[in-house]
Every structure is written in C-alpha cells, then in structure tokens.
Structure 1
Amino acid sequence: MRDEDPIDTRLGARLAELRSRHGWSLDALAERSGVSRSTLSRAERAEISATAALLNRLCHVYGRTMSQLLSEVEAEPAPLVRAAEQQVWEDRASGFVRRSVSPPHAGLRGELVEGRLAPGADIAYDRPPVPGLEQHLWVLDGTLEVTVADLGHALDAGDCLRMRVFGPTRFRCTGPGEARYALAVVRP
C-alpha cells in the first residue's frame, strides 16, 4: 500500500465531485474519456496518483485545463503567488514535474506553468484539455522535442514554440540532461 498524498486525496475528491455534478456513472465517464472504470475509481479514491495523460483525458471531458483542475483542489487563489507557495505536481511514472507559477484565476484566460522533464521522459496527450488552447512554450534549459498533430519541432534552450492545440501533442526530453520550460497557456 502506498502513502496517501494530500493532493491526490483532494484531487480524487474533486474528480468524484465533477463526475457526480454531471450525473455520470463511472461506466459513463469511462466511455466518454477512454479511461477504464477501475482506473477512474482508483483515482477518485486516491488509491493511485493520476498521471498527466489521465488528467488530460478527464480535463478534455470536463472542458477545463489541467491548471484549472489542479487549482480547484487548492485553497482560494491569491493574486500574488510566492515561489515557495506555487503548487508542484509530479507524474513520477513519466518523469514530469509541473509547477503552477501563475495559476488560473476567475476572469483571466491565461496562466503560466513551469515544466520539467527528466532525460528520456516522453509524454503524449491524445487531445487537448480544451480544443483550440493557445500555448507558448519557451525552453529554459535542455532540449525538447515537441510534436503538434504530426509536425515535430526540435527545441533548444531559448527557443519558443507558439501553437494552438486541436489534436494530439507529445513532449520528449531528447538531451542527456533535464529539460525545463515555461508554458504560457491561454484559453480560447
């Protein structure tokens, strides 16, 4: 049995609340998201840590960004977020660490995220959480390969990729060291 993470517990409760609010059974959500009923159930009970790919599928179904979902398990957002208070979420299975630098806030469409990928980490999303999501990815350190739809982009430190996401994306750390990047996300 794994140690329960408070964020996983709050996230699981929020996922269950969203499903309930929509009036969906686990089977109905499994059909909509393409995630197995047992995985959804275990995530809602915080028996597993949700992966980035799982959260992306659920965000798509619920029409929100991952930052929105994660901010919903925090206390009320403050206008100033000190570095020590920025929420960090880790997908240990894929080697992905995500810091919500400027979390979503009511009335604002943009947010700022710091991402870190371990060497060799490879994360694929089959769809955006919100179709037409605008993203500006600025590589701060390391090298990153980003595929948007079927077009690959090799990025080095200092490079910036601008995109509007409607289909699959993939982020892969191609260098010998960690890739660190800033991602500006703007909801349509």
Structure 2
Amino acid sequence: MREEGVPDTVDDRLAARLGTLRTEHGWSLDELSRRAGVSRSTLSRLERGELSPTTATLGRLCTVYGRTMSRLLMEVEAEPPRLVPAARQPVWRDEEAGFVRRSVSPPHPGLRAEVVESTLDAGAGIAYADAPVPGVEQHVWVLEGTLGITVDDALHTLREGDCLRFRLRGPSHFHCPGPERVRYALMIVLP
C-alpha cells in the first residue's frame, strides 16, 4: 500500500531526489541551469516529475552533484538487500537514446564498487560531458556485440569477451556500431 504523498515509482523518486539535491546545494533553478548546461524549464519539469531525464541530462546532473549515475539511482531506491534476484534489479531506460541500464549489484553508501549491465541499440551512442567522480575506475566487459568507447581522446573497439579498464577524468563516449545491439557489463569502483 502506497503512503499518501510518498513517490511510488523510480521516476517519481528520482524527480524528488533531484529537487532535494538542488535545495541541499542552495542553488536556484537558474544556478543549476548554468552549472549543468540544461535549460531552467527542463530542470523544473524534471523536478516536478513531468519529464523523465535523458541519459545525457542525467549524466550532466550527476557531474554537477559529484555522483555516479548508479549512486544517484541508488539514492532513490530502498536500502539494497545482499541478494538481488534478477527480477528485482532496478532497470532504467532511455528509449530515445536506445539505452537500457540494469543495476546488477545496486551501490551502497558503505561500498566502493558496483556492477551494471547495459545495452545500447545498434547505431546508438551515449556521450558523457565529464566524469561524475574524477578518477572513478571503470571496467567494461562486452558480453554480446561490439562497443566503441572513447576515453582520453582514444577510441577503443571492444568485441564479445573483450574488457577495457580505465580511470575516468574527463568526457567519454559509448557507441554501438552494430549491426546488432551491444550488451556489456560495467564495473564501477570509486576512488
């Protein structure tokens, strides 16, 4: 049974958390807009739950707030259990970008690592303007398909079974050249 006034979907809880983060920082919508490069009206609609953020927008907000996307999404979930059955792993979709993200091992404030499973449709790409947490370590393991990753101005092409490890300090870009979608595991280790 849903308690009155308590958001009940991930999108509702995410909208509420984004509003709380802005308030905690003491920023107006105009100030956040300037820092994140996202329009004031879009930010307002996101915080009211009228709009679901795109991956790019959420990435910009995570950078401004100094959080990984997983950490932000974890903050809108209940305390994660030790065992997370596949059917209960939180899934977030950006249909417009052709991106699906499953938190296989939801992050926890006391832990530094997490595992995420992602898929990108053929031809889709996700660009992150900056590292959400400078120096975060990432391991990308391709499970199916082909994935192009640009990090530190170098393009890496990974095929099924390949793994790339790097520390992220700036922009990055993930792209699926096709012809099929790519499915990959991302291991994130906070510095």
Using structure 2 for the length normalisation, give the TM-score.
0.94
RMSD: 1.1
* Residue 158 (structure 1) aligns with: 161
Equivalent positions of 1:1-188 (< 5 A) are: 6-188=9-191
Counterpart Cα distance in 2 of 1:124 and 1:74: 25
SS at match of 1:111: strand
Using the TM superposition, give the Cα deviation of residue 9 of structure 1 relative to its aligned residue in structure 2, in angstroms.
1.3
Instruction: Name structure 2 gaps, 5 residues minimum.
Output: 1-7
Deviation at 1:106, TM superposition (A): 2.3
Q: Distance in 1 between matches of 2:118 and 2:27?
A: 32
- 1:149 deviates by 2.5
Q: Matches of 2:87 and 2:179 in 1, distance apart?
A: 28
**Matched position secondary structure for 1:93:** helix
- How far apart in 2 are the matches of 1:167 and 1:156? 24
Deviation at 1:63, TM superposition (A): 1.1
Using the TM superposition, give the Cα deviation of residue 6 of structure 1 relative to its aligned residue in structure 2, in angstroms. Answer: 2.2
Please state whether the residue corresponding to 2:53 is helix, strand or coil.
coil
Q: Which runs of 4+ in 1 moved over 2 A?
A: none
Q: How far 1:161 moved relative to its partner? A: 0.5
- The whole-number CA distance in structure 2 between the counterparts of 1:16 and 1:49 is 13
- Number of matched pairs: 184
Instruction: Give 1:123's aligned amino acid.
Output: I
For normalisation by structure 1, the TM-score amounts to 0.95
